[in-house]
Amino acid sequence: MKALALVLAALLAAVPAWAELAPGSMDMQWAAGARDCAKDPQPPLQVHAYDPRTFILRESLCSTFEAPFMYLLIGSRRALLIDTGDVADPTRMPLAKTVLSLLPGAAMKLPLLVVHTHRHLDHRAGDPQFAHLPGVQVVGYDLASVRAYYGFNHWPNGLAQIDLGDRTIDVMPTPGHNETEVSFYDRSTGLFFSGDFMLPGRLLIDDTQAAIASADRVAKFVSAQPVSFVLGGHIETDAEGNLFSWGSSYHPNEHVLQLSRADLLALPAALRSFNGIYTTRGKLVMMNSMRVLMIEAAALLLILGGLVTLLVRIIRRWRRGRQLRAGAPG
């Protein structure tokens, strides 16, 4: 009986850690874009309040087919913006203006820290909008800057924290898609921000072994943490898991943004099944884009070579026929 009481006490002690997560809503219908954006223009930016201190922003499919997501987390002492999107021009994409309008304070805004999930342009093109704003710090996106800012002395191992004041964000290296990739976990909401490491779309993998190691570290981390939702950098599939065409500005019946803790826990096994070129596993589509392009280029060269060979043969036959006709008696 004493042993049973100890077990029950341990279980009850674990409940508050899960129950104390700040609740939020993912009830948001993201704009589907348009087949012809010139005829059906869209607002450049959508904003969804997950809760009063957590905002999800998305650039329109008509502004950029990448339609990346960005995340604004507000603490008591400062705010954090994860990624700055794919459009630099503030007249086309008023990202900084929108973010500042969401920060508390009138004349004196809360200090803002701008970070990136990784260095690809569609996650940092908006950096210049923030570069010279008072009270704003933009962390560099190159590997040296990432390691130095977070203090990752044994990259890709380690765990760092960002203290926003009454709100702590864990930061962990998750290279594989890109060598600079990091993911973020918000202890107050249980939201896991996965960038392009995990999303409802193409998992573009540059380094398979690095991706597997990252997935193992993430699975170990989240196995001991409550996760409300996993929020990535893009949506590239419809509700049935079918990929939209690359470069498409129209996403009808789009998959929801959020994935689950179970999806993260299943990722290591999925990545171990990746053949290094292109593999589907359930709704996951894993690919190495450079190798796929090389194979496509090789196939195109073979087709062109075949067409050239066929054309040469046709010309030679035509010439022979012409010579025979020219030498025939009248």
pLDDT tens, residue by residue, 76-88: 999 999 999 999 9
Nearest CA to 162 out of 185, 138, 180 is that of 185
pLDDT band at 10 (very low <50, low <70, confident <90, very high): very low
From the list 100, 120, 122, 127, the residue with the least C-alpha distance to 112 is: 100
Paired sense of beta strands 79-82 and 69-74, if any = antiparallel
- The vertex-66 CA angle with 64 and 68, nearest 5°, equals 100
- Where is average pLDDT lowest: 37-41, 56-60, 102-106, 193-197? 102-106
The secondary structure of the chain in percent helix, strand, coil, rounded to multiples of 5, reads 30, 20, 45
- Of the candidate ranges 165-179, 240-254, 276-290, the one whose mean pLDDT is the lowest: 276-290
Q: Which two tokens stand for residue 144?
A: 């040296």
C-alpha distances out from residue 95 to 61, 130, 314, 328, Å:
15, 9, 59, 79
pLDDT tens track for 120-151 = 999 999 999 999 999 999 999 999 999 999 99
Give the Cα separation of 49 and 22 in Å (integer). Answer: 13
Write down the mean pLDDT value for the chain: 90
Percentage of residues of the chain with pLDDT beyond 90: 78
Place of tokens 């044994």: 154
87 and 78 Cβ atoms separated by less than 8 Å: no
DSSP letter assigned to residue 116: -
The reported pTM is 0.86
14: confidence class by pLDDT, cuts 50, 70, 90: very low
CA nearest 282: which of 266, 302, 304, 301? 266
**The predicted structure's pLDDT at residue 5:** 52
Supply the pLDDT for residue 329: 63
Q: Which CATH architecture has domain 25-276?
A: 4-Layer Sandwich (3.60)
> What ranges do the domains of the chain cover?
25-276, 288-323
* Contact indicator for 186, 172 with CB cutoff of 8 Å: no
Res 8: pLDDT: 47
> DSSP assignment of 172-211, as one string?
EE-TTSSTT-EEEEETTT-EEEEETTS-SSEEE-S-HHHH
Q: How confident is the model at residue 283 (pLDDT cuts 50, 70, 90)?
A: confident
